[in-house]
Structure 1
Amino acid sequence: MRLAAVILAGGEGRRIGGNKPLALMGGQTLLDRALAFARTWTGDVAVSLREPGQFPLPDDVTALIDEEGAGPLAGLQPALRFARQKGLQATLTIPCDTPFVPRDLPHRLCDKLGGGVGAVLATSGGMLHPACALWRSNVIDALPSYRTTGRSSLKGFAAHVGFTTADWPCEPFDPFFNVNNLDDLATAERLLRNR
């Protein structure tokens, strides 16, 4: 299946003191870690930003601008539009603050994207990770009707288009551990050293 990989990086990062994608972990920014994963999966890579020029991107990466006022869906709509314009069947989203995403993420999610589902969401330890998901690019057509419900959650939109899940073990640690603050960043550094 041909897919686009879009890194969701438009959050304000208040709890970490600013531009979270540029936070350093193991001598590499969180964004650079996410880009390294994405580039192994596809040549069609984009980053969803809060605003134009939020931070510089490499020349081979497309900058997408979040939809204003769309809440958690802000990065998904431009991601789906990017994939559709490229003629790609699916859109893989990963947040920039999840530094240990499994390398087999797109393959396992693609395996589950069958018949009547519009998305496959990653799970681990009984937790759903709707930002780590594979979306059929045509689900962009369902966004207007979902927005009329007044909801803006990724999980809610996944339910709206129909979804299934793919599960990962949490040993030796949760691969979907995400960095929300400086303590989380220190934990991620420790996990990286002990890998």
Structure 2
Amino acid sequence: MRGARCSRAASRGDSDRPRRCRAKPGLGPLAGINAALHCAAARSLDAVLTAPCDTPSLPPDIAERLTAAVPAVFVESMPVTGLWPAAFAAALDAYARSNDGSVRGWGREVEALPYILDEILPNVNSLADLNRLSGHFP
């Protein structure tokens, strides 16, 4: 994601960093988004780019596409893939206390716009899904 539109980045997979930003149980994907927004805010980062772990193939320029769109945006066909301002952390806390954990619902709550991709994103939820994709990766 680093480039012309990103001067600093943090990765949740950073193994040398203390694990201070923990997800809240029971929120599904919103738990990860919530933890990431709080981590980003604590590190004075502007936004969080999210992607689901069961989507192995995102367009290489997805970060550029989403950052060029609007301050808050999610991929229409895969709403866990999105760009969320770190300033939304407290609003997501409030939403999580009173709603069903829907990422699409959260997007509506903060007036994030859906971004329509031309590509179909693969979603791996079973061994059959994984087997269908087996020839697509080196």
In the superposition, the TM-score normalised over structure 1's length comes to 0.60
**Identical columns (%):** 30
- Per the alignment, do residues 179 and 111 of structure 1 end up closer, same or farther by CA in structure 2, a change over 3 Å counting? same
9, 17, 42: which one aligns with 1:85: 42
Cα offset for 1:92? 0.3
Cα offset for 1:81? 0.8
Q: Which runs of 4+ in 1 moved over 6 A?
A: none
Query: Which structure is higher in strand share?
Result: 1
- Per the alignment, do residues 77 and 177 of structure 1 end up closer, same or farther by CA in structure 2, a change over 3 Å counting? same
74, 96, 100: which one aligns with 1:151: 100
In the superposition, the TM-score normalised over structure 2's length comes to 0.82
Q: How does 1:27-106 map to 2 (within 5 A)?
A: 43-47=9-13, 59=15, 64-106=21-63
**Distance (whole Å) between structure 2 residues aligned to residue 68 and residue 81 of structure 1:** 15
Aligned twin of 2:75: 122
User: Residue type matched to 1:147 in 2?
Assistant: A
Is residue 95–residue 106 contact of structure 2 (8 Å, CA) maintained in 1?
yes
User: Residue type matched to 2:133 in 1?
Assistant: A
- Per the alignment, do residues 82 and 181 of structure 1 end up closer, same or farther by CA in structure 2, a change over 3 Å counting? same
Aligned twin of 1:131: 80
Is residue 34–residue 93 contact of structure 2 (8 Å, CA) maintained in 1?
no
User: Residue type matched to 1:67 in 2?
Assistant: K
Deviations for 1:15-41, whole angstroms, at most 9, x for unmatched residues?
xxxxxxxxxxxxxxxxxxxxxxxxxxx
Unmatched 5+ residue regions in structure 1?
4-41, 48-57
Deviations for 1:127-180, whole angstroms, at most 9, x for unmatched residues?
x3111000011111212332343321111111101111222213xxx2x21111
Aligned twin of 2:127: 182
Q: How does 1:6-17 map to 2 (within 5 A)?
A: none
Is residue 74–residue 115 contact of structure 2 (8 Å, CA) maintained in 1?
yes
Aligned length: 133
Is residue 2–residue 90 contact of structure 1 (8 Å, CA) maintained in 2?
no
Aligned twin of 1:169: 118
* TM-align CA RMSD: 2.3
- Per the alignment, do residues 60 and 189 of structure 1 end up closer, same or farther by CA in structure 2, a change over 3 Å counting? farther
Is residue 75–residue 81 contact of structure 2 (8 Å, CA) maintained in 1?
yes
User: Residue type matched to 1:182 in 2?
Assistant: L
